[in-house]
């Protein structure tokens, strides 16, 4: 029955081997071509930013780079849109707090 198969099986997809990224010090698997947001979602992580005012949790909202709710720090670069940036082997991703400029001279 089709319901017993995964989306990858239904599409006949054969992704390449997974690689490792880290999120807040935790090792996570990611697949080639997968966005950072998709890799985080796959690991059950749905929030990776806090708002400037109130420190409220945020994650991906629109999924197409328009809303900026998915901002994250990737390899020490703040304000990266996790829904648009492809995950790369060895990426270090950390939660972004506020506007992401705390350590910058701006």
**pLDDT tens, 23-37?**
999 999 999 999 999
Domain of residue 91, residue span: 17-96
pLDDT at residue 102 tops 80: no
Q: What's the rounded Cα separation, in Å, for the pair 59 and 57?
A: 7
Report the CATH number that the domain containing residue 21 is assigned in CATH. Answer: 3.10.20.440
Q: CB under 8 Å to 99, separation ≥6 — which residues?
A: 52, 79
With a threshold of 0.85, does the pTM exceed it? Answer: no
3-state secondary structure 22-43: EECCEEEEECCCCEHHHHHHHC
Residue 5 lies in a domain: no
Number of structural domains (the chain) is 1
**pLDDT tens, 40-97?**
999 999 988 888 788 888 888 888 888 888 899 999 999 999 999 999 999 999 998 8
Greater confidence, 105 or 7? 7
Residue 52 lies in a domain: yes
């Amino acid at each position: 029955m089709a319901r017993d198969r995964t989306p990858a099986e239904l599409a006949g997809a054969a992704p390449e081997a997974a690689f490792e990224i880290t999120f807040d010090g935790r090792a996570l698997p990611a697949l080639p071509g997968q966005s950072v947001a998709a890799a985080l979602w796959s690991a059950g992580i749905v929030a990776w930013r806090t708002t400037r005012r109130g420190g409220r949790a945020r994650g991906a909202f629109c999924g197409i780079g328009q809303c900026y709710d998915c901002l994250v720090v990737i390899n020490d670069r703040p304000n990266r849109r996790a829904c648009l940036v492809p995950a790369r082997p060895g990426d270090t991703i950390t939660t972004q707090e506020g506007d992401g400029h705390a350590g910058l001279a701006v």
